[in-house]
């Protein structure tokens, strides 16, 4: 039985984050929902006490803990163990909440049929170093009705972990975040929770997340690419042929969405994810089969440059895709080698397609100015 005014714990893990931490804490303390606690977990920062100084300046307004460095997953798990609220809300030290984030999500939660087994998500706003903001909108139909496919295949707009409101009990029962996954601990947990809870989207932009040069996705870009590709491909492998067929036949927009996602992942160098989308699409319709065949032929040409010499003349499209996936696993991971160059060019192309040429030029111009200032 969920209370009408459940307590929400906002967990802020931080490592060497004195530059943004105060803004994150301020946004948490400024929530219009009153029944909250703010828990800051210092994951063994090594910055001569700068991060700790920021946290301690808030006194009793927050709960502050310091632990040995173990990574963001361990810091989040630590916070989950220490929190006293019924619901968990993650806030990265470099991100921000809108003032009504918790209030709106709790209200939406209480209107759900089973609030004690529901996870609420919302949309996010990207904040770039040059001050430009860009609203990102999740496809709510795919998210709410086909969450497995969304989690594995949504390329343009993903699920921001800081947007979620999660019952603490399901986090405890699931074992929390996997500390052995340095960059995919979030999506791994959402994938494990999908059978325990219903993920539901509140179509509001309530989280602001920063793009900057010191975030893990930039510092660990190679690791993020490989691990992210592996996880998404694994998620898509769990999708049954019947479930995917129902998704495609539900709306023509869904088929368009999946091929747009394929194109984006391919340009980003997410090889295995791309191949899994092809595998799922291959047998659904003559159009899908023909398109998948053409794409598989292109992939085989790329793979042959890396020693792929399998005779595929008498194989089905699906068998040919499976052969490519097996080669990727056992030989050279192309997303890390030759496709790395394609990935950078592809990301620029996708940015122009998604955001428009004007936004791309504005963003690139601001970045060039910052680089020149550093050189002066």
- Over residues 292-327, the pLDDT tens digits come to 889 999 888 888 877 888 788 788 888 898 888 888
- Residue 349 scores a pLDDT above 60: no
252's CB contacts (< 8 A; 6+ apart) are none
Residue 335 is predicted with a pLDDT of 43
Rounded to 5 degrees, φ, ψ at 220 are -120, 45
Share of the chain above pLDDT 90, in %: 67
Q: Give me the long-range contacts of 325-333 (CB less than 8 A, separation at least 24).
A: 325/233, 325/272, 325/275, 325/276, 325/279, 327/303, 328/271, 328/272, 328/275, 331/306, 331/307, 332/306, 332/307, 333/226, 333/271
- Ordered structural domains, the chain, with CATH: 8-218 (3.90.550.10), 223-330 (no CATH)
- Residue 340 scores a pLDDT above 50: no
* H or E stretch at 290: helix 286-304
* H or E stretch at 342: helix 339-355
Tokens 């990727």 belong to residue: 328
Task: Please tell me the distance from the alpha carbon of residue 360 to that of residue 372, in angstroms, as a whole number.
Answer: 18
Task: Please tell me the distance from the alpha carbon of residue 113 to that of residue 157, in angstroms, as a whole number.
Answer: 27
- Over residues 37-51, the pLDDT tens digits come to 999 999 999 999 999
Q: Using alpha carbons only, how large is the chain's radius of gyration in Å? A: 22
> Could you tell me if 125 and 134 are in contact, meaning their C-beta atoms sit under 8 angstroms apart?
yes
- pTM for the structure as a whole: 0.86
């Amino acid at each position: 039985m969920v209370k009408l005014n459940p307590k929400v714990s906002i967990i802020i893990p931080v490592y060497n984050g004195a530059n943004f931490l105060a803004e994150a804490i301020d946004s948490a303390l400024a929530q219009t929902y009153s029944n909250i606690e703010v828990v800051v977990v210092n994951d063994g920062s090594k910055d001569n006490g700068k991060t700790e100084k920021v946290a301690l300046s808030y006194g009793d307004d927050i709960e502050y803990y310091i632990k040995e460095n173990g990574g963001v997953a361990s810091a989040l798990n630590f916070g989950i163990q220490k929190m006293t609220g019924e619901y968990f809300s993650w806030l990265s030290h470099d991100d921000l909440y809108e003032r009504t984030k918790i209030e709106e999500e709790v209200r939406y939660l209480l209107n759900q049929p089973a609030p004690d087994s529901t996870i609420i998500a919302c949309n996010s706003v990207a904040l770039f170093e040059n001050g430009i903001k860009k609203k990102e909108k999740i496809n709510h139909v795919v998210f709410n009705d086909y969450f497995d496919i969304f989690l594995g295949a949504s390329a343009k707009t993903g699920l921001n972990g800081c947007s979620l409101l999660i019952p603490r009990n399901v986090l405890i029962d699931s074992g929390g975040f996997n500390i052995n996954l340095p960059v995919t601990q979030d999506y791994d947990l959402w994938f494990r929770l999908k059978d325990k809870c219903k993920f539901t989207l509140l179509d509001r932009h309530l989280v602001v997340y920063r793009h900057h040069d010191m975030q893990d996705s930039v510092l660990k870009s190679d690791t993020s690419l490989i691990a992210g590709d592996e996880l998404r491909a694994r998620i898509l492998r769990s999708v049954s042929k019947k479930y995917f067929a129902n998704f495609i036949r539900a709306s023509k927009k869904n088929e368009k969405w999946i091929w747009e996602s394929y194109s984006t992942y391919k340009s980003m160098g997410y090889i295995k994810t791309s191949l899994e989308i092809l595998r799922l699409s291959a047998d659904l319709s003559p159009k899908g089969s023909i398109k998948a065949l053409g794409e598989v032929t292109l992939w085989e040409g790329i793979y042959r440059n890396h020693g792929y010499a399998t005779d595929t003349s008498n194989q089905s499209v699906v068998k040919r895709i499976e052969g490519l996936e097996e080669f990727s696993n056992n030989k050279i991971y192309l997303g890390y080698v030759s496709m790395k160059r394609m990935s950078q060019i592809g990301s620029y192309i996708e940015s122009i397609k998604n955001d428009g040429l004007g936004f791309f030029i504005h963003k690139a111009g601001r970045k060039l100015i910052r680089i020149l200032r550093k050189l002066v």
